Amino acid sequence: MISGAGVAGTILANALVQQGVDVDVIDSHANSASGGYAFLLLGNGVQGLKQLRLWDAVAPLCVQIHTVRYFDANGMHLSDCTLPDSYIVSRLPFIQAMRRQTVAQAKLSFDGDAIVLPDTDVTYDLVAGCEGARSPTRAWMNPDVSIFSVGSYELLGLLSPSDSAALRSVLAPGHMHKYLSSETGLAMGVVALHSGDILYYFQVNQDNHPAPPSAEASSVLVRHLARSFECPVAAAIADQDECTAYVWYASAVSNVETLHKGKAVLFGDAAHQFHPFSSQGVNGAIDDIVEFVQLLQEHDNDVGVAGPVYSQRRLDATKPVVAEGLLFASKFKSTPSNSWMHVKAPVFEVSSSQSTEPLRMAPLSVLRERAFNYRWATVPKGVIPLTAADPDFACSDRVVDFLQREVATRVFPYAPAMGLSEFRQAIASHFSRHRAVSPDQVLAVNSAASALSVVMNYLLGPNDAILIPDPVDFLIPLTAQKTKARVVRFPVTRAGLDLAVLEAHYHPSIKFLAICNPHNPLGFVYSANDLHALAAWATARDVTIISDEVWSDTVADKPSFHSMLTFYPKTWTVYGLSKGFALAGFRVGAVLAPSADAAHALADHGGFFSTVEGVSSMSQMAAVGALRHGLGWNQAFATHCQAATALVAEALNRTGCFECVVPQGTFLVWAKMTAALPMSSEE
């Protein structure tokens, strides 16, 4: 018996009927089960429906959405985000299609007064609680359960074909448009449906706008919210002849200890706490059903065996995600969100090219356990760390697959002193875009920071002097100072290197120059002309250059980046994969020396041949995997960083308190505050 004939209940009915099971469906709220207009069906939901052999029945009802386009409140385009294999589905037609599939084979009874609570007298082999977020079956299983608001809700409505006719050309097929308001805690989304209607929704912070108590109040609020956006879609929503909006309250459930008790099992929203702006209510329900059906098949349809296994697996899979969802809700109350919220972390991909790979945010629960160095694991909950530059993204799936194959060999010997041959070849190839680099010039080191230390300790001593930009990453002057060399700072601006300024700080006793390209923190990238001129300047003065290029992989326009070693043979290049490939924890980097002999001498000086120094073979293979298989991911990441830093810089500039320039590389924004705080840095 299935209690609840909404999306989860009707899908489960079909899945069980296909297994030869006799199914009764009781629904005490059949009409409300079809409310809400539409939902987002993600790739995992589509795959699940295909596994359950139900996709063909609903595919004609689905409007494919491959891109979410983000705009500000004035309609200015900000960025794009792809949604692989995702669809907008009208809820009522979907449920009707599911019911048509089962009506000939399953008994569907809709008793408006029936609420079935399983107990020891139940004669059914299985009772499935699919009643939604306020499931009585769940309350029976978990008597201490509590439902609480997270302080936000959604308003969903439809623009009729007549009201929306002028907008059809604006809404590109396959695109959802999402507008972010300057008003705290408000966003608007719109998408065209098969029916000719345009679905719109507002994501609302309840602290700013209490949930409307009636249909009339909902209509008034929708018009008010629409007027806070300056775009044609918002105007059409505000001016529509009749305005009816469905209120979708965002809530969460605590103290759910089990999804299974006796012969009863929970599915869908009855099974999971759900959070605002999540499309995983439906997709999570499909995941539930697929897993449960598979377990039934494995255990001869024995609910007593399959039920506890299902309960534990689904709780383990969803609890971390629920916590993340609640954090998103809290975050939304302080600032509008610019990402479509999923149970799986948001996916960012700017280009649909096959050469790119989707980006996924790392789960916050994992970051809180693993991300140290002044980041998530070192700050209290509620604090967002904008400190060490360690991307909050999961690394490339292809790199993970590559590493899993390496681990499967079960062989982890010492690596050669200067690095694995495939590592040195991968680094050399990566830097040979404009000028050939030999693998013999490459030394594997423990991170770019280690590379900087190894090089400076080899080159510098108490009698030396080195020119270092100001400002620059603190590690560069700090590492130089530890060698007892004299550090001479010269100012740089967002405009880049000024040779006249450099020359003004030069003295013939200075034989070394450090640069950072792209520059941390100013974000500029040296052009080919800049580097050519700098090479001529250094040649005339016999100056050795140390070039920190750890940020090079964050440049979205790859051809625009040039390494200093392309132009000047007396260059020691410092490189790492922490910034551009999300591999900081592998602590892997490289030094590209001016020659093979120089690389060998550096390794000898640093103790590499005596095994005092050396990089783990697995870390080196992570780098190999990234440079062989992760370049598509890196391109997507660099493009995302470019859009994100532009968004932040432009927003800060609009305040009138800050002065920012959009960086060409890095994912840093260097904000000048003198307009709001007329004091010097020292003050």
Q: Strand pairing of 486-491 and 465-470? A: parallel
Phi, psi angles (nearest 5°) of residue 459: -90, -35
Percentage of residues of the chain with pLDDT beyond 70: 83
The CA distance from 3 to 12, in Å, is 11
Q: Which uninterrupted H or E stretch holds 547? A: strand 544-548
pLDDT given at position 270: 81
664-668 average pLDDT score: 94
Calculate mean pLDDT across residues 240-248.
81
Query: What is the β-pairing status of strands 87-90 and 62-64?
Result: antiparallel
- DSSP strand pairing (442-445 vs 589-592): antiparallel
In this model, does residue 327 exceed pLDDT 60?
no
pLDDT of 149: 60
Task: Please state, in angstroms and rounded to a whole number, the distance separating the CA atoms of residues 262 and 260.
Answer: 7
Q: What is the spatial distance between Cα 80 and Cα 357, in angstroms, rounded to a whole number?
A: 14
Q: What percent of the chain has pLDDT over 90?
A: 36
pLDDT at 285 over 90: no
More confident: 64 or 395: 395
* Pairwise CA distance, residues 432 & 332, whole Å: 45
Average pLDDT over residues 115-138: 71
The region of weakest confidence among 59-63, 164-168, 493-497 is: 164-168
pLDDT tens digit sequence for 619-629:
999 999 999 99
In this predicted structure, what is the pLDDT of residue 214?
Answer: 87
> Model confidence at 336, in pLDDT bands (50, 70, 90)?
very low
Range 462-470 average pLDDT: 97
Give the bridge partners for 41, in sequence order. Answer: 87
In angstroms, what is the C-alpha Rg of the chain? 30
Q: pLDDT band at residue 254, thresholds of 50, 70 and 90?
A: low
Q: Which two tokens stand for residue 441?
A: 């010039």
What amino acid occupies position 381? K
- Does residue 276 have a pLDDT over 60? no
Mean pLDDT of all residues in 125-154: 77
Q: Do 256 and 273 contact (CB within 8 A), yes or no?
A: yes
Cβ atoms of 420 and 439 within 8 Å: the answer is: no
Residue 147's pLDDT band, with cuts at 50, 70 and 90, is low
Q: Is the pLDDT of residue 584 over 70?
A: yes
> Is 80 exceeded by the pLDDT of residue 666?
yes
Minimal CA–CA distance to 395: which of 46, 675, 637? 637
The listed range with the strongest mean pLDDT (36-40, 367-371, 556-560, 576-580) is: 576-580
pLDDT of the residue at 260: 85
Q: Which range has highest mean pLDDT (27-31, 42-46, 180-184, 272-276)?
A: 42-46
CA 678 to chain centre: 37
Determine the average pLDDT of the residues in 511-531: 95
- Per-residue pLDDT for 516 more than 50? yes
- Residue 350: predicted pLDDT: 35
**Residue 611: how many other CB atoms lie within 10 Å:** 9
- Let me know: does 518 contact 497? Beta carbons within 8 Å: no
Coil, strand or helix at 210:
coil
Look at residue 194 in the predicted model and tell me its pLDDT: 63
Taking each helix axis as running N to C, give the angle between helix 631-655 and helix 397-407, from 0 to 180 degrees, rounded to the nearest 10.
140
Spatial strand order in the sheet of 186-192? 77-82, 67-72, 175-180, 186-192, 198-205, 146-159, 245-254
Give the long-range contacts of residues 72-75, CB within 8 A, separation 24 or more. 72/179, 72/180, 72/182, 73/179, 73/180, 73/181, 73/182, 73/183, 73/228, 73/229, 73/230, 73/231, 74/229, 74/230, 74/231, 75/179, 75/229, 75/230, 75/231, 75/232
Which domains are present in the chain?
Answer: 2-331 (3.50.50.60), 401-631 (3.40.640.10)
Bridge partners of 155, per DSSP, are 202, 247
CA dist 530 and 497 (Å) reads: 8
What's the mean pLDDT when you consider all of the chain?
82
| pLDDT greater than 90 at residue 83 | no
pLDDT digits (tens, 9 = 90+) for 537-549: 999 999 999 999 9
Given this model, what pLDDT does residue 334 score?
A: 44
Do residues 422 and 624 lie in contact, with contact meaning Cβ atoms separated by under 8 Å?
A: yes
- Locate all alpha helices (DSSP H) within 148-257, ordered by sequence: 161-164, 215-226, 232-239
Mean pLDDT, range 313-328, rounded to an integer = 60
CA distances from 110 to 3, 6, 18 (A): 10, 11, 22
CA distance 554 to 630: 13
Going by C-alpha positions, the residue among 669, 518, 654 that lies closest to residue 580 is: 518
Most confident residue range from 384-388, 442-446, 656-660, 674-678:
442-446
Tell me, what's the pLDDT at 594?
96
Most confident of 192-206, 570-584, 641-655: 570-584
DSSP string, 386-402: --S----EEPPHHHHHH
